[in-house]
């Protein structure tokens, strides 16, 4: 059976395949893997991954060539040199266009993967920033003076009032547990300060530790701390005692502000964290 082609038809199709083998789509139009225009257009505007139609076209021609080569065996003139050459040309067409199709599918698939990898990846949603705290070491901004006094005593502290400012002082100073000072406005706290009195030799380390702790809790500050001078980096105590006033980091919210500041008080260094509530 000749698949509907006469001898002349098969020969013409064979010559057509021979000529078309020089124009396998993927070999001609697809760029080589690793070429400079793999992910961006080249000088002629061509780029990697133009279309899967090229390898599909090659596969179609390879299928047609295989059909022709197999069908030519039924040609009455199948033993002639001319017919044999055309049959060989058909199988060569299968090889050429089949290889071109495979090459095109590989390049197109690789290009699709590269494009996917090069696409901007969606950033994970940023963690919600903690809100301004409603209390500090249990001392709440909505508590009244009697409640704060009782809380201070329950913590082993000594409560005193001087004007509009209350203080919860420890019986013994500690670099870990701070003194708490509370300023009142209309009967409720408007500002709470925690005051740390560390040893002179650990002042620099304590200051950095407090700043790092606040950053972990509340994220990057809206106002960064000023850079410490060489003198302050060497000894924060001597720096403050000489009159230098470095500014610490500041965190802002619509409802309040937190500020860390080192300063000199009398004969010692005080690391002060100020929590100021602001009415919204």
DSSP string, 77-144: TTTSHHHHHHHHHHHHHHHHHHHHHHHHHHHHHHHHHHHHHHSPPPPPPPPPPPPPPSEETTEETT--
Domain assignment of residue 270, given as a range: 137-277
Closest Cα partner for 187 from 144, 218, 221?
144
Region 14-32: mean pLDDT is: 55
Same domain, yes or no: 154 and 80: no
pLDDT in tens, 196-231: 987 778 888 999 999 999 999 999 999 999 998 888
Work out the percent of the chain whose per-residue pLDDT is above 90. 35
Same domain, yes or no: 85 and 199: no
Structure confidence at residue 36 (pLDDT): 46
Same domain, yes or no: 155 and 66: no
pLDDT in tens, 170-191: 877 665 678 999 999 989 999 9
- 123 is a domain residue: no
Same domain, yes or no: 141 and 65: no
Same domain, yes or no: 238 and 199: yes
- Mean pLDDT across the chain: 78
- 156 is a domain residue: yes
Same domain, yes or no: 190 and 266: yes
Residue 261 pLDDT greater than 90, yes or no: yes
- 130 is a domain residue: no
Q: CB of 129 within 8 A of CB of 218?
A: yes
Same domain, yes or no: 96 and 167: no
- 131 is a domain residue: no
Same domain, yes or no: 25 and 151: no
pTM score: 0.57
Same domain, yes or no: 202 and 72: no
Same domain, yes or no: 270 and 154: yes
Region 140-147: mean pLDDT is: 95
- Of 86, 118, 150, at which residue does a domain stop? 118
Same domain, yes or no: 87 and 167: no
Q: CB of 220 within 8 A of CB of 211?
A: no
- 126 is a domain residue: no
Structure confidence at residue 209 (pLDDT): 93
Number of domains in the chain: 2
Residue 84 pLDDT greater than 50, yes or no: yes
């Amino acid at each position: 059976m000749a698949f509907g082609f006469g001898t002349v038809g098969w020969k013409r199709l064979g010559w057509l395949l021979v000529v078309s083998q020089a124009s396998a789509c993927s070999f001609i139009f697809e760029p080589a893997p690793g070429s400079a225009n793999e992910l961006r257009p080249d000088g002629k505007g061509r780029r990697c991954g133009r279309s899967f139609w090229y390898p599909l076209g090659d596969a179609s021609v390879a299928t047609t060539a295989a059909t022709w080569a197999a069908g030519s065996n039924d040609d009455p003139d199948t033993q002639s040199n001319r017919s044999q050459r055309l049959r060989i040309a058909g199988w060569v067409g299968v090889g050429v266009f089949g290889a071109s199709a495979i090459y095109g599918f590989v390049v197109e698939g690789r290009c699709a993967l590269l494009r996917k990898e090069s696409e901007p990846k969606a950033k994970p949603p940023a963690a919600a920033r903690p809100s301004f705290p409603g209390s500090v070491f249990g001392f709440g901004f909505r508590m009244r003076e009697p409640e704060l006094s009782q809380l201070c005593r329950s913590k082993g502290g000594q409560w005193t009032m001087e004007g509009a400012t209350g203080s919860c002082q420890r019986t013994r100073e500690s670099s870990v547990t701070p003194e708490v000072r509370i300023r009142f406005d209309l009967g409720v706290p408007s500002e709470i300060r925690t005051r740390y009195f560390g040893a002179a030799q650990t002042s620099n380390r304590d200051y950095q530790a407090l700043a790092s702790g606040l950053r972990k809790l509340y994220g990057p500050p809206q106002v960064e701390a000023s850079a410490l001078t060489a003198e302050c980096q060497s000894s924060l105590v001597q720096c403050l005692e000489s009159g230098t006033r470095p500014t610490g980091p500041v965190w802002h919210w619509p409802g309040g502000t937190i500020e860390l500041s080192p300063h000199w008080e009398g004969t010692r260094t005080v690391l002060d964290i100020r929590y100021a509530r602001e009415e919204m």
